[in-house]
Amino acid sequence: MDLVRRTIELALENVENGGRPFACVISRGGKVVAESPNLVAQTHDPTAHAEIVAIRQACQRFGTENFEGHDIYVLAHPCPMCLGALYYCSPDRVVFVTTRDEYSRYYKDDRKYFELENFYDEFSKPWQERRLPMEHRPEEDRRRSLLALARVELVIRGEEAVPNRPGASLRGRPTISLPRLRWT
């Protein structure tokens, strides 16, 4: 099967059905294991990009978020959200059919903060200079609690050793005591 052609066909079918012209095919050993068009228009879900939907399908099917041994085909160079998901799932390669420059003259969106021409530049700016208003509210008790939860994840995965303590354990590993979360 020509997976680039399948990606294009999926995008064309999506346009015929009222969707946007984007699609993603995930393969292993040349066989399709998941595929999806962009479903934003149909679902009114801004995260329903083709890559995200296909990645979710494959994760559920295989019970993992690690895509080593897989190739991912997309119609257009991935947006930052999809690119982040692609980095996270770590396929062997991503094949894209068109570049941003090639499809930018055809792509129009009416979002308040999103224009394809300058959207990618926003990521290199410090958060204080981005068009999307953001504010940082550091609260030391909550920050320490969240960092402790992140450490627990490492302990559960066996990536961080902790001193033995009497009492319960996490999957047979020693536990650590966490500060209580106090949300107001």
Q: CB neighbours of 34 closer than 8 A, spacing ≥ 6?
A: 25, 26, 54, 55, 57, 58, 61
Please name the helix (run of DSSP H) or strand (run of DSSP E) that holds residue 80, with its range, or none. helix 80-89
Q: Which of 35, 51, 65, 135 is catalytic?
A: 51
* Residue-wise pLDDT tens digits, 64-102: 999 999 999 999 999 889 999 999 999 999 999 998 788
Q: What is the pLDDT of residue 181?
A: 46
Q: Which two tokens stand for residue 80?
A: 């930052």
Backbone phi, psi, residue 36, to 5°: -165, 145
* Residue-wise pLDDT tens digits, 18-45: 998 899 999 999 999 999 999 999 999 9
Q: What is the pLDDT of residue 69?
A: 96
**Catalytic site residue 51?**
yes
Q: What is the pLDDT of residue 151?
A: 77
Per-residue pLDDT band for 108 (boundaries 50, 70, 90) equals: low
Q: What percent of the chain has pLDDT above 70? A: 78
Residue 123: is its pLDDT beyond 80?
A: no
Q: What is the pLDDT of residue 109?
A: 67
Per-residue pLDDT band for 131 (boundaries 50, 70, 90) equals: confident
In whole numbers, what is the pLDDT of the chain averaged over residues?
Answer: 82
Q: How far, in Å, CA of 54 to CA of 103, rounded?
A: 21
Q: How far, in Å, CA of 157 to CA of 38, rounded?
A: 34
Residue 171: is its pLDDT beyond 70?
A: no
Assessment of whether the complete model's pTM goes beyond 0.85: no
165 against 73, higher pLDDT: 73
